Amino acid sequence: MSSAQAAPQIPDQTSAFQNLTYGVRMKAFFHKLASHGLVPQNETQAQNFLKLAEDIRYYKQHPQVKQASAAADPVAAAVQDLEAHMQRQGLLQKNAGDELFINRIADEFAADPTMFNSVLSLKVAEAQDVANQLGLAVA
């Protein structure tokens, strides 16, 4: 195997966790956007989608911000109204398509050497922890 085709190294635990967290979130996020016809055309658009998602996530996790901004901001009030309408229509509930989406993403990650090796690294560390707790020697 030439150096240009060398298999990816198995990362340390911290890098493995970061690979998985970042990789899973980004791939799932952009696949979900694409399933709704939203495909960023360049890096700037991709970064803007990520910033928008981050702001929405923060907004949803902080009800006091949601309530305060809804009182003063007509856009926030519109977001609240839209969420309430979507909830009534059952659009915010998990559906069968979500399960297929999750399975498709999982298959793609299993085929990605970086993701595969990251999982392998974390599982090796987990096995070592269990062996240590059981007092077993690990070679």
Predicted confidence at residue 55, as pLDDT, reads 78
Which residue positions in the chain have pLDDT lower than 50?
Answer: 1-2
Task: Give the pair of three-digit tokens for residue 11.
Answer: 């990362």
pLDDT score at 5:
62
pLDDT for residue 96:
59
Q: Retrieve residue 64's tokens.
A: 């006091």
Angle at 88 between CA 32 and CA 76, to 5 degrees: 70
Helix segments in the chain, DSSP class H: 13-35, 43-61, 63-72, 74-88, 96-111, 113-133
Q: What is the pLDDT of residue 1?
A: 46
pLDDT in tens, 58-78: 777 776 655 655 566 767 777
pLDDT in tens, 77-95: 777 777 776 677 665 555 5
pTM of the model: 0.46
